[in-house]
Amino acid sequence: MSSIMTSRQAAELDYALERNQWTATNVKKASEGDILARFLDVLLGRAEINYLIDLDADPYVPEHWSVIEHKKGGKVRWDPKKISLYLSPKQRDGKVVKGGELRKELAHLPVLNANALDFLLRYSHLNFIPKKWKGKRIYFWGTIYCSDFNGGLGVRALCQAGDDCWTDGCIPLSYDFDCNHPAILLAG
């Protein structure tokens, strides 16, 4: 087995690294020790990657908003089986509830914060977002924002922007939340 790469393979690898935002520092780090051997194990299906969400990190703050509450939750491995969508009884059977009232109801539940939302957006190409979420706005009540314009409170949501395209928005708590606006919870 030849360990020498052709110039075409080297160029292909260089392009792939650039396309995936690798820096010279990242390449140097990957070249240390047995890191590339561990990458190869993943590539060949002998190992898998666990995607961790740092719920303790400072959240992303959209322009013209500030964070007033951010419930930390440690580092959690993304596992859709440990996620549930929550609807208040006040959101069912055609009813709606104001966001401020819903926020109080969710105060003691294990809601995920906006870092989980940003994780899902960052890795949306990996299909971590369940298909059954299509047509819904999923709310991440662990982070509450305040508008710089009017002082109103808001919560960020994961929203479908197309067939397989997702985006986010910061929705005022004065909004009516119905059955298509569940909160995302970390289940046991």
For 137-158, the DSSP string reads -EEEEEEEEEETTT--EEEEEE
- Sketch the domain layout of the chain as residue ranges: 7-43, 52-186
Provide the pLDDT for residue 54. Answer: 98
The residues pairing with 154 across neighbouring beta strands, listed in sequence order, are 145, 172
The residues pairing with 69 across neighbouring beta strands, listed in sequence order, are 144
Provide the pLDDT for residue 116. Answer: 98
- State whether residue 131 is helix, strand or coil: helix
Neighbouring residues of 103: CB distance < 8 A, sequence distance ≥ 6: 141, 144, 153, 155, 173
Provide the pLDDT for residue 172. Answer: 97
What pTM does this model have? 0.82
Provide the pLDDT for residue 1. Answer: 52
Provide the pLDDT for residue 125. Answer: 87
Provide the pLDDT for residue 122. Answer: 94
Provide the pLDDT for residue 28. Answer: 93
If we measure between CA atoms, which residue out of 154, 142, 55 comes closest to residue 106?
142
List the pLDDT tens digit at each of the 188 positions of the chain: 567 889 999 999 999 999 999 999 999 999 999 999 998 999 999 998 899 999 999 999 999 999 999 999 999 999 999 999 999 999 999 999 999 999 999 999 999 999 999 999 999 988 899 989 999 999 999 999 999 999 999 999 999 987 779 999 999 999 999 999 999 999 86
